Structure 1
Amino acid sequence: MQTVMVVPGESERFWNQTPFRSYLFNAFSLLLPSGEQFVIRAMEDAATHLPEGAPLQDEVAQFVREERAHQRAHRLYNAQLAAQGYNAIALEARIERAVQGLEHALSWRERLALAAALEYLTALVSRHALRGEGWLVHNASRQSSLWRWHCEEEVAHHGVALRMLCEVGRVGYGRRMALYVLASLILLGDVARHTWDFFQTDRAQGRLGWLGGARSVAGFVLRQAVGLARMAVGWLGYGLPMHRLAPASQVGRNAEKARIEVRPLQACDIPRLLVLEHKKWSDGQAADADAMAQRIAAHPQLCMGAFCPRTGEALASLFLKPISAVQLQSARTWADCAKICSHDGGQTSRDLFGISLSSISPQGVEAIFAFFWPRALKAGWRQIYLGSPVPGLARWRRGEPDAPVESYVYAMRRGGPQDPQLRYYWQKGFKTIVACKAGYFPHAASLDYGVVVRGRIPLSFLAPLWRHVPLSWLRGMERCLARGL
């Protein structure tokens, strides 16, 4: 991997075609040595909380190597800015003091959340920098080579910080968004401050006047109005749930999803679904052919499958049914909730019960969720309930024989539920525990207990609007948001 490079001399001060565009990237460069160090330390601290041998440890190590290479390159870059007469040394020193203050003020989880937000923002800017030449000139100059190398790596590896946040650093939605706003203000404020300082230096030395500076800024804003609007949409994308921002693995995610076929299930799919059921569940837990046929016949639009188009193998399946508040409250067992009735949910319920989610492919689950979300908005569904096992309960009970089961069910660890299955659903957006029920379904590791959890369908509060929006537009919105991530 290359570690690049020094900014050329005086004759190429405005290297990016215009003064403002040159100032913009130079301003970012001043942030990077201290900013990258903050991100590196946050990631290394968080990595100590990963289980031994976790795949993310290798990703973090690669991430840190790349960030250190960026540091070295931009220290050289900034030294040349100082040699050109800019206040680079003083501005870098101020940033370093601010970064040290943040490190002392924040917990390790908050530092990780801030680092993930910074990485998301830099990847967002990098995508636009790499799109054509509206932001960044594309030629053989050393600056262009440096920035294109850096931007490509930022786009490629920003998901590592998000996955770390998802895995070990959960801080709650409100705090995550507050730290995201803080990261945005830090970047915007410092870039504006540095850009102004560069302009003042060049104006004082007679290289650029007020009119030339204003023309440079206005030209960029006018030419990039659409790109800036697109960036604003991408900025809002951070408000999506974490499982949309940070899937289990980014490696080949888009390519995998593109190769997966997702559609409503039909009776002819049942033989392949049975193979999937028995790969995922024990004989006592797996659904039989009659149960599947009954679910598909009753609610064909609420039964979905993800298939490999090459082999036809079932990769994931999702069975849902409408449910009313009365049915949910009166049900003692999972079978009561999952039973198919002619009056399921009545005519007014906007809630669903997740009968089954079976998967041998994380990408298959993602593809099903992406398929279902716009259809759920169009249909007006608001909430989904699931019955979850608690497979860590039996082991916990051996150490706490007299403690109530609820002490384990509601216990939190590293910002999420202590139980691994509840934590999995929590990461998928099912954050509310509705009930803990004994004898809910046979599951030895759960001592036959089950926990009913609830998740809200993102943006479903705008159901009156979505009812009048064509489904094709909603599907396009989902694809747009996915690309914006």
Structure 2
Amino acid sequence: METLEAGMPGEPERFWNRTPFGSYLFNAFSLLLPAGEQFVVRAMEDAAAHLPLGTPLRDEVVQFVREERAHQRAHRQYNAQLAQQGYEAAALEARIERAVDRLDCTLGWQERLALAAALEFLTALVSRQALAGWLVDDGSRQATLWRWHCTEEVAHHGVALRLLGAVGQMGYARRVVLYGLASLILLADVGRHIASFFATDRAHGRLTWSSAMRSAAGFGLRHGGSLARMAVRWCGYGLPLRWLAPAPRTGRLVVRLLQAQDIPRLLVLEHTKWSEGQAASADAMAQRLLANPHLCLGAFCGHTGAALASLFLKPISEVQLHSARTWADCAEVAGGSRADQGGRATPCRDLFGISLSSISPDAVDAMFAFFWPQALKAGWRQIYLGSPVPGLARWREREPQGCVQSYVRTLRRGVPQDPQLRYYWRKGFRTVVACKPDYFPHPPSLDYGVVVRGRIPLSTWAPLWRCVPLAWLRGMGWCLSRVL
């Protein structure tokens, strides 16, 4: 949309969308957008800070914010032209900005996220009707801008709802009440803006009471069916969030053990998810594959072949785990992973998760479902992970004398208070084994790391699984993934 953001030279047609009322309706929404979308962006960014690191939803939020900021730039120029036409655009925008500032100061981040999700849902409702017939399709700059904007609103409105479901911890009643509040705010502001546009045009003799009423009535008659459908869909916000905005699904997945020729695609995945200092190198991946070829898994798109998820594991003994000072010590794959301090071979039954990288929740689920039968057959019992604690720095600002061990082990509403530990808790890693300073460089965690442990489901029956053919265990994969 660079051409739209470059501005609309000259005097655009005042009643560009067939009728005065049809034009007023979209102009009224435009005045809401710069401040309103800034409110949504702030709410989304604040909430996304509570997501675990590496979560695919974080990438969705980044793309969402990028699109919303483009909308803001375009509509600021659109509103400037409304002011040039003589409308009270600047005063109306200033009023919206003051109202948004009050909401920012009054509401907590969870309420602001819920309000943002409701506004995005409402905007998508209007956008669908706009694309279905409310907008002219004459190639004018205003119509082109609105078609671009509405298309993106329909495409990305579910991001806010998924984020609300992931971190909002919002009760159903409060979510619905805030939706009603958002609906009233939107209806009142649009009505106020339309009335101001009409008053300006009537004062300059461009419109009379009778012509304004005919324009509004004509819009209602022409689009009565779509207004009724929109009213029905408005009630749909009462459905569960998982129905309103299910997680996006990828195409057919291919899950298998990794091979050396996969490394170039895995590097693309690594640099998509992690910073330069965090991403694994090609040499590190090659060493992991060489040391433990049966503990390196990947999920790939069946259509493009792109790597969607990867998992690198290694055997580890309890002695090695507790003696390791840093994550690098735990992740080291060069030699001696099955020997104790005296050099005697030890029967390792536990695994350490070196890394999990993903851009698709479905790919992660499919990869785990693929791995569990093999883990049971091989007799693996537990998996350890080294986790950052990205909420620690913010907590320390509030509790400068607080004990890190207390932060890590204290549960709030039955789950850890740190977002990353909460994520692993829901995946079954519910035992905190150790909390180590200088574990790996991560400023939000103050360089602390936490070793967590999860038990592989049904692994206590290891003698039985050794007698069961692997093909049979794979046939149980669906059940095993549900047990996890």
User: What TM-score bracket applies, with the shorter chain setting the length?
Assistant: 0.5 to 0.7
Q: 2:189 is matched by which residue type in structure 1?
A: D
Whether the 8 Å CA contact 1:115–1:161 is kept in 2: the answer is: yes
Q: 1:242 to 1:77 in 2, by over 3 A?
A: same
Aligned to 2:157: 158
Aligned to 1:52: 53
Q: 1:215 is matched by which residue type in structure 2?
A: R
Aligned to 2:4: 4
Whether the 8 Å CA contact 2:56–2:361 is kept in 1: the answer is: no
Aligned to 2:140: 141
Find the residue that maps to 1:13 and give its secondary structure.
coil
Matched, 1:85 2:86: yes
Whether the 8 Å CA contact 2:51–2:58 is kept in 1: the answer is: yes
Q: Which runs of 5+ in 2 are unaligned?
A: 254-302, 304-359, 364-382, 388-404, 429-452, 459-484
Find the residue that maps to 2:134 and give its secondary structure.
coil
Alignment of 1:88-103 (within 5 A): 88-103=89-104
The structural deviation recorded for 1:21 is 0.4
RMSD over aligned Cα, in angstroms?
4.2
Q: 1:106 is matched by which residue type in structure 2?
A: L
Q: 1:408 to 1:203 in 2, by over 3 A?
A: closer
The structural deviation recorded for 1:418 is 5.5
Aligned to 1:194: 193
Matched, 1:225 2:219: no
Query: What is the alpha-carbon distance in structure 1 between the residues aligned to residue 134 and residue 176 of structure 2?
Result: 27
Query: What is the alpha-carbon distance in structure 2 between the residues aligned to residue 23 and residue 110 of structure 1?
Result: 31
Alignment of 1:54-133 (within 5 A): 54-131=55-132
Q: 1:146 is matched by which residue type in structure 2?
A: L
The structural deviation recorded for 1:71 is 0.5
Q: How many residues of Structure 1 are paired with residues of Structure 2 in the alignment?
A: 301
Query: What is the alpha-carbon distance in structure 2 between the residues aligned to residue 60 and residue 15 of structure 1?
Result: 34
Identical-pair percentage: 64
Find the residue that maps to 2:2 and give its secondary structure.
coil
Whether the 8 Å CA contact 1:123–1:158 is kept in 2: the answer is: yes
The structural deviation recorded for 1:2 is 2.8
Q: 2:134 is matched by which residue type in structure 1?
A: W
The structural deviation recorded for 1:214 is 0.3
Whether the 8 Å CA contact 1:126–1:151 is kept in 2: the answer is: yes
Query: What is the alpha-carbon distance in structure 1 between the residues aligned to residue 47 and residue 118 of structure 2?
Result: 15
The structural deviation recorded for 1:410 is 3.8
The structural deviation recorded for 1:174 is 1.2
- Kindly report structure 1 stretches of 4+ aligned residues shifted beyond 3 Å: 5-11, 361-364, 407-415, 417-424, 444-449
Alignment of 1:325-340 (within 5 A): none
Q: 2:120 is matched by which residue type in structure 1?
A: E
Rg bigger for which structure? 2
Q: 1:199 is matched by which residue type in structure 2?
A: F
Aligned to 1:169: 168
Alignment of 1:172-321 (within 5 A): 172-248=171-247, 250=248, 253=249
* TM-score relative to the length of structure 1: 0.54
The structural deviation recorded for 1:10 is 4.7
The structural deviation recorded for 1:423 is 8.9
Query: What is the alpha-carbon distance in structure 2 between the residues aligned to residue 104 and residue 46 of structure 1?
Result: 16
Q: 1:58 to 1:212 in 2, by over 3 A?
A: same
* TM-score relative to the length of structure 2: 0.54
Q: 2:114 is matched by which residue type in structure 1?
A: A
Aligned to 1:299: none
The structural deviation recorded for 1:150 is 0.5
Whether the 8 Å CA contact 2:416–2:425 is kept in 1: the answer is: no
Q: 2:154 is matched by which residue type in structure 1?
A: V
Q: 2:112 is matched by which residue type in structure 1?
A: R
Q: 1:2 is matched by which residue type in structure 2?
A: E
Whether the 8 Å CA contact 2:52–2:423 is kept in 1: the answer is: no
Offset from partner CA, 1:452-482 (integer Å, 9 cap, x none): xxxxxxxxxxxxxxxxxxxxxxxxxxxxxxx
The structural deviation recorded for 1:422 is 6.1
Find the residue that maps to 1:4 and give its secondary structure.
helix
Q: 1:112 to 1:231 in 2, by over 3 A?
A: same
Query: What is the alpha-carbon distance in structure 2 between the residues aligned to residue 172 and residue 208 of structure 1?
Result: 48
Find the residue that maps to 2:154 and give its secondary structure.
helix
Q: Which runs of 5+ in 1 are unaligned?
A: 261-309, 311-360, 365-390, 425-443, 450-485
Q: 1:217 to 1:64 in 2, by over 3 A?
A: same
Query: What is the alpha-carbon distance in structure 2 between the residues aligned to residue 199 and residue 111 of structure 1?
Result: 32
